[in-house]
Every structure is written in C-alpha cells, then in structure tokens.
Structure 1
Amino acid sequence: MTQISAPSSTSLAALGWSKTFEAQLTPEQTALAPMRIATVHRSRVTALSPSGTVKLNLPAHANTTDFAVGDWVLVDRETDTVTRRLERSSLLRRRTEGTRAPQLIAANIDTLFIVTSCNADFNPARLERYLAHANEAGTTPVILLTKADMVADAASYQSRAAALQRGLEVVTLNAKDTESAAALARWCGPGQTVALVGSSGVGKSTLLNTLAAKDDATAQPTSGIREDDAKGRHTTTSRSLHGVKGGGLAIDTPGMRSLHVSDIGVGLDKLFSEIAELAPECRFRDCTHAHEPGCAVQAAVAAGALDPDRLERWRKLSEENRVNTPVATGPRGNKIMKKGRTKR
C-alpha cells in the first residue's frame, strides 16, 4: 500500500497552492474545498487537504485517467465529490504503444528530477527523451546522477550529461546520504513541487526516502539492480505525492524504459537549441539537414561546431515525433485526427 506523507505544515500554500490557482476561482466556487491529488489508481483517487488525506468521489462523467498526481481540484465539502479540476501550470505526460490518449504522469510540477546512475543505465539518447518531455511540459529539468560514490570518475558522467542541453543543471549524489541530498534543497523549498522520473533501480525511491526522512514503516520500497546490465526491478508501481524536508513536495513515479515522443515540437527545439537556431539560415525552409545544398546545420557539422551524433539523434527524435503526432484532417467542422506519415 502506498504511504502518503503530507508536509509538516498543512496549509494550502504548503501543498503548492498559489495565486495562479486562486485566480481561477469564480465567486460561486469559493465555498468549495481546494485539494491536491495525491494518488491515482484504477478505481480511486485520493487528495491532500489542510485537514488530511481524503478519498475523493468522482462525478458520473469523469474517469480516474482524467486526473494526474499533483492536480488541483475543487471538492464539495459535504460529499467529497470533485466538481472541477483547475487548469494546470505544467503537465508531464507520455504516449504509450497502442493507446489513443496520452498517459498523465504528473501535474503542476516546478522541477523534474531526471534520475540516472553512474553505470550502464547512463544513456544520453534516453536522457534526451526525458529532457524533451520536461521542456514540453513547462517544467525545469535537472539531471541527478546517483551512485556517484561507486565510480572512480563521476565527473565524466556529469560533463556528458551537462552537454545534453544548454543551461542544464546536473547534480551528482549518493541517494542514501542526507548531506548529498541537501544539494537539492533549493528545488524543494516551501510550496515547491518536484517529480522524480527515470529507469527502475537508479535510486528514485531511495532518494525520496532520504528527502522525506521516511522511517522503515513509511519508506517507499527499494530494490537492487542486476550487475551485468544495471537494470532494476519495478518497486514503485504507482505515482504518489509526498512531503519532503524543506517544506516542498515530491511525486514519485514508476520506472520507465519505454518513452515514445509525440507532440513535443517545442520541447525538441529547446533540447536541440543549437540546431533550431541554425535552421533559419538554411537555403530551404523545409530543410531536413541531411543532404540539401546550402544547409547551415551540415556546414556546422563540417566545421566541427556541431556533433554529428547529436544531429543524428535530433533527426531520429524529430522523425518519431512527426510520425507519432496526430494531425487534423478532413473538412472544417468534421476533422479527425490521424497519425503523420514517414517521409520517403
């Protein structure tokens, strides 16, 4: 059973309430109780309020998949029924194989901690996928390198991670060490919300336990990794909201190895800003940066100013995004959404 820990202070502000959400209330809704979604399961949703944890009732037309951990909702005080979900300041979501609607991961997060470890789990291409999603979600990404105490040269991992996106912050730490976790304090202050994402076995749950100072009874379960490929087992099976030291909140998530990209054009432009900035200088407006004459991006590769591997990863993600992003087709007023097509 998931253990939910609220902040030590249980005011709305301590739960992340701000003027952004206050401004959305209408005069008729001031009597409703603002609450923050803490867990979303297949058949139930719970929320945190200043008075504690509440099991919510959903209106007849709603489904649990309509809500994300971190959402703010307005609740009828007598029936504990959700009457409205407030507009989100940020939303992290992903599209999974074989589904039409994207899966909601976390909402209203200020900082996304992308957790990886200094071993075989470290994969620049996968980290770029997380970064693109974070950029598109409207949250600030920070890469956390765990198990830094187990390698001789953690600095090389840090420099490789920092090169993935302009201005990206990277922190190396031992997830079990309280002093190392203190390096994250500036993102975990009163009312701030972080979410932790990454593969299984990289130390997300261990880090959450350290940040929240959880005891054995309330700690998130953890497990080790296979030494041959650094892959771990899923110990976190659902998303949940927890209070952490410093007055902030953290959303723990299950490990993700499959992370498809879809509808994240803005996120990719920020991730590959050096390519996005060169593109307007290309001779052709629809340049693919592959073989066209007058391509400024290819010129930068030839001059040694742009890593060709980086360009190849941009090309792969851009094509995947284009193919997976639905586009509206058909006459006005009767449009349907279809997937894009692969370029020949």
Structure 2
Amino acid sequence: MTHCAEQTSHSLAALGWSSFFDDQLQPEESGLARMRIATVHRARMTAASQLGTVRLNLPPHVHTADYAVGDWVLVDSDTRMLTRRLDRKALLQRRTEGGRVPQLIAANVDTLFIVTSCNDDLNPARLERYLALANEAGTRPVIVLTKADQVDDATPFLAQVSGLQRGLDAVALNANAPDAALKLAPWCSEGQTVALVGSSGVGKSSLLNTLAGKSPEDAQLTGSIREDDAKGRHTTTSRSLHPITGGGWVIDTPGMRTLHVSDNLAGLDQLFAEITELAPLCRFRDCTHAHEPGCAVQAAVAAGTLDPARLARWRKLLDENRANTPVQTGPRGNKRTKTPGKHR
C-alpha cells in the first residue's frame, strides 16, 4: 500500500473507530482496510489509516461531494480502491444559498468547538446558529473564546455566552499559548474528534496549530481581524483532519460568513429549551406566543424570567427554518421534494 508523506501509525481506536462502525461490517468485508477521510477535494480524497495517510483511488461515478472529512470508509488494501462509506454517527452540514443539497462540513464529530473572540466579533445570534447546527447533528457544542489575553477580563464575555443553552461549556483562552491545549484537553482525549467552526480571523487556525503541535514549517496560515469592523480574512480554504498532540483528532473548516438554518427543528428546540418547555402550558395549542391570551411564554417575558430579545431570536430562526426546509408535495405515491426558495 502506498502512503503519503505523513507516516504516523495509529490504532483504529485512536483514529476514532468504535463499536458503532464495527457493527456495520459484513462478514465478506473483514479483509478490507478501515480508514478515515482526511481531506476531500474536487477529484481526489486522502484517508488516515493505521499506517499513515493514503491517497485513495475512486471508483467511476463516485462524487467526492458525497463524502465528508471524518467519514469512515472501507478500502481494498492492495489497490487503495474505496469500496464503501459506513453510516455516520454524526454529520455537520449546512444548506447554502441556492444549493439543492446540503453542504457537508464534517462527519463523526464528538465535540464542536464554536470559536469566537473577546471583541466585537462576539455575536450571540450567530453563535446560536452554530449551536443549533451542533444540536441537530448530535454533536456536543463548546464555545471557545479566543484572544482572552487581549482584554483585561474575559469574565463578561464568558457570561454573555454561557446562558445561550443549558449545560453549555465555555472556555476563554489565548489560542497561541501552550496552555490552550490543556484547557481543551477534556474534549481531546484519544479517539475523540473535535471540529473547529467560526468566522474568519477569530483564531481557528492558530488554535489548530496549538492543538496539533504543528511546527512553524507545517503550521496553518493565520489571519487577523480587521480593527475597523472586527471582520476576518479567510485563511483556511478546505476541510482537513489533523492528529491532536496526546490523542484525539481535529477537523479544521473554512470561516463561514453566513449559516442558514434549515432542517433544524430539533436543534432549535434544544437550543431554546426554556421556550419550547413553556409552550405546552399556553391556553391555546396553536399559540404563536405573540399576542394570545393565556400565553405562558409571554407571561414569562412579563415576569422577567425570559429575555424578550431571546424570544425574538427564537422566532426569527424558527421562521427561517420553516422557509428554508424542503417539503414533500404532491399526491401519495407521487410525492416530490419542493426545494426552499429565498433564504431569509
């Protein structure tokens, strides 16, 4: 088997293999190699194997867009020919403007590090979109506040994000400092996979370099946030899988300027649990929580136990999700999928 330049040996368990994937194997597939997709390009893919990184040979008619970094695949050891992809334990995906099918972000991710910074880039409404994305995928979200060394006190920033979802973990750090890896170690143990998402310029590439222990020659390029508008520049242009010093794996992703909400009702219900749990207490089953008498949600706003801004953001994301989610139309037996129209 021919391997790429990176030749570090890993056990299957260290790569993230578990009984979830083992149970999918057929008896006739016992001789196939189990590998994990490391990079996806337009016409080629590489995979992490027990012996190193492998460039895969692809069968005719295989579309690389159907594969995500982090996928587990079965490969013929002699020919490096991809045989099939195993079912995913978790899948992060998003619908792009005008796209007919969702764009795959990363697969089989245990923890999603939602990276923002201690400055004007911190936007609770945008963070809620990432949280809904993680919830829908069944991936644990953690808010990572970078550039903590550039402010006098990171506590107000932590307070601003900690209440966005029940049980949400938030960590403030300097992405370039060695202790950043120690602060994130609880989610980066052997066999665990984390992914980094967030706007451009918030320190994702710096954090990747720290977690992966990359040398200056191998380090990902980093960019900064412009001081005039707190906007960043794209430095990561593709998704890739990297080993974390001490055990796990990290998937880097390009910065996202927009993240539309679609097919995400369960994720939103988990994100706004304090609202969805009040809804059954309303007098009317179809209450919109806007003006109806006997509305438990509006009563919570009046009592000061529910932030009206939070309610407004919930309503906006719920409307956007409804507008952007494909629906089945037509008579029974001849249904077709109606794709979303204009994104809100």
2:29 aligned residue: 29
Residue 93 of structure 2 is aligned to residue 83 of structure 1: no
Letter in 1 for 2:25: L
How far 1:57 moved relative to its partner?
A: 2.1
1:105-124 correspondence runs (5 A): 105-124=105-124
For residues 132 and 162 of structure 1, the distance between their equivalents in structure 2, rounded to whole angstroms, comes to 15
Measure, in 2, the Cα distance between the counterparts of 1:38 and 1:308: 43
Please give the alpha-carbon distance, in whole angstroms, between the structure 2 residues aligned to 1:86 and 1:220: 30
Shift of 1:27: 0.2
Aligned counterpart, 1:222: 222
Cα gap change, 1:88 to 1:68, in 2 (>3 Å): same
Q: Could you tell me which residue of structure 1 aligns to residue 239 of structure 2?
A: 239
Q: Name the residue aligned to 2:213.
A: 213
Give runs of aligned pairs for residues 137-216 of structure 1, distance below 5 A. 137-216=137-216
C-alpha separation in 2, matches of 1:54 and 1:254: 23
Equivalents in 1 of 2:32, 2:100: separation in Å?
A: 33
Match of 1:260 in 2: 260
Counterpart in 2 of 1:334? 334
User: Is the contact between residue 180 and residue 210 of structure 2 (CA under 8 Å) also seen in structure 1?
Assistant: no
Partner of 1:272: 272
The amino acid across from 2:108 in the alignment is: N
Give the aligned partner of residue 15 of structure 2. Answer: 15
Partner of 2:133, secondary structure, is helix
CA distance in structure 2 between the aligned counterparts of 1:238 and 1:43, rounded to whole angstroms = 14
Who is 1:46 aligned against? 46
Does structure 2 conserve the Cα–Cα contact (< 8 Å) formed by 1:12 and 1:50?
yes
- Where does the alignment leave 5 or more consecutive residues of structure 2 unmatched? none
CA deviation string 1:76-125 (max 9, x = no partner): 12221211110111000000001100000000000000000001110000
Question: For residue 29 of structure 1, what is the amino acid of its counterpart?
Answer: E
- SS of residue paired to 2:318: helix
Separation (CA, whole Å) in 2 of partners of 1:313 and 1:226:
27
Quick one: distance in 2 between partners of 1:258 and 1:70? 23
Separation (CA, whole Å) in 2 of partners of 1:230 and 1:257:
13
> What does residue 65 of structure 1 align with?
65
TM-score by length of 2: 0.95
Report deviation, 1:188. Answer: 0.5
Distance 1:254 1:34, change over 3 A: same
Query: Which whole-Å CA distance do the structure 1 matches of 2:62 and 2:6 have between them?
Result: 26
Shift in Å, 1:287: 1.7
Do the aligned partners of 2:8 and 2:51 also contact (CA within 8 Å) in 1?
no
Percent identity reads 70
Rounded Cα–Cα distance in structure 1 between residues aligned with 2:46 and 2:114: 25
Match of 1:311 in 2: 311
| Number of equivalenced pairs | 339
Deviation at 1:217, TM superposition (A): 1.6
> Quick one: distance in 2 between partners of 1:289 and 1:31?
58
- What do residues 154-203 of structure 1 show as CA deviations (whole Å, max 9, x unaligned)? 10110110010011000000001111331101111000000000001000
In 1, the alpha carbon distance for the partners of 2:246 and 2:267 equals 30
Q: Distance in 2 between matches of 1:7 and 1:182?
A: 26
Name the aligned partner's letter for residue 110 of structure 2: D
Measured in 2, the distance between the counterparts of 1:67 and 1:145 equals 30
- Partner deviation per Cα, 1:5-63 (whole Å, 9 max, x = no partner): 97955111111111111111010111111100000111111101011111112222320
SS of alignment partner, residue 278 of structure 2: helix
> 1:283-317: per-residue Cα shift (whole Å, max 9, x none)?
22222111222211111111111000000000000
Unpaired runs of 5+ residues, structure 1, are none
Q: Which moved more, 1:6-15 or 1:51-60?
A: 6-15
Q: CA deviation at 1:277?
A: 0.4
Is the Cα contact below 8 Å between 2:32 and 2:76 reproduced in 1?
yes
The separation in 1 between residues aligned to 2:170 and 2:295, in whole angstroms, is 32
Cα separation, 1, equivalents of 2:339 and 2:293: 30
